[in-house]
A = this chain, B = another copy of it.
């Protein structure tokens, strides 16, 4: 699960997983990088992300949050394949067209098989989504 480096545009130099059809073509594209605060994920809210009320669809936010679980747990996973086991979230506000949506979070515990992550999505510091996810490393049978 090696990420690629984006080579142009707003997210030039950020990482993404190019073999992810849903995250790349449909729901995304989503990106991640890191700075002194840790992993930082982002996407720019475009027309195809919106719901009928004119804000980013909750499903898009949850998809981005799910993407962020793997970015945040990237180091803990150390190349292992993993799947999301459970996910919980609360919706606090809806990003609008053109907004830059940021995900920040932390690995709360990395066990032998389960990794626990929590995070927040925000736009300009205003929280959009609070979420927690548990991911499970896949072991070769």
- Residues of chain B within 8 A (CB-CB) of A90 are 85-87, 108, 116, 132, 134
Whether B59 contacts A63 by the Cβ 8 Å rule is yes
Residues A73-123 near B (CB distance < 8 A): 81, 83-94, 108-109, 113-114, 116, 118, 120
Select from chain B the residue with minimum beta-carbon distance to A131: B132
Interface size class of A (residues with CB under 8 A): 35 or more
Copies of the protein in its oligomer: 4
- Per DSSP, chain A at the interface is mixed
**Residue in B closest to A92 when the chains form the complex, CB atoms:** B109
- When A92-B109, A118-B130, A136-B114 are in contact, do A21 and B85 touch as well, CB less than 8 Å? no
A38 within 8 A of B: no
Q: Chain B nearest CB: distance from A8 CB in Å?
A: 22
Listed from nearest, the 7 A-B pairs whose CB atoms lie closest are: A59-B63, A22-B57, A88-B88, A19-B52, A26-B26, A62-B62, A92-B109
